[in-house]
Amino acid sequence: MYERMISVGKTLKISLMAAVLVMSAGTAAAQEASADSALNGWLGLEYTVSSSTLNEHMPTGGKLTFVFDGSDNVVRICTRSVTGQRSAWKMDFASPCGVTLTFTRGVRYCTVDDVKAGNAEVLSGCHRLRSRDVAMRPAKVKGTIELNDMIAFLVKGDDGKNMMAILVDSPARVTESGVIVVKP
């Protein structure tokens, strides 16, 4: 009888350990598949490029959506052309969902004025998405490709709506003079 109790105890212990492993694997998979809570409100909305001092990078009037890809833990930019946009999507943006960004959690949301001011100390504390080596426009030198870094800051508009202000770094890693603003 004592041997049977030990056997049942071992079986119960193994069953409990297996259940804990299955539950923790499920929790880890659920955490991997979800975006950061600071980012969630900006995902899945269709944005319009409302203003840009860098029209050759993103066409004013163009539509884009930020979609979280849990399998790669990145955010993809999915573009859509519409009648009335200033020009066609170019280079990497011409391929729908072809540009990926990584999210960095800050301590607050920026304002458009923060982004326009360009104070690196202030911007380093803001929630943001970043992509490196994105072909956004044809290069100035024929036969070459110009790659840019893009930083999309999560912004709360004056009306409380979620929007983004985007900075583009040139190949020389000097921020180009201008901001691209996208609104839902």
Mean pLDDT on 157-164: 88
Q: Which residues touch 20 (CB under 8 Å, ≥6 apart)?
A: none
69-85: pLDDT as tens digits = 999 999 999 999 898 88
What number is the average pLDDT over the span 30-55? 80
CATH code for the part of the protein at 40-183: 2.40.128
For residue 85, is it left (φ>0), alpha (ψ between -120 and 50) or beta?
A: beta
Residue 135 contacts residue 153 (beta carbons within 8 Å): no
* Consecutive H or E run containing 91: none
Domain boundaries, the chain: 1-32, 40-183
Going by C-alpha positions, the residue among 118, 131, 128 that lies closest to residue 91 is 131
Average pLDDT over the chain, rounded to an integer: 78
The residue ranges of DSSP E strands in the chain, in sequence order, are: 46-52, 63-69, 74-80, 99-104, 128-138, 145-156, 162-169, 180-183
Residue-level pLDDT at 29: 40
**What's residue 54's pLDDT?**
66
| pLDDT > 70: percent of the chain | 75
What letter represents residue 165's amino acid?
A
Least confident of 15-19, 43-47, 121-125, 158-162: 15-19
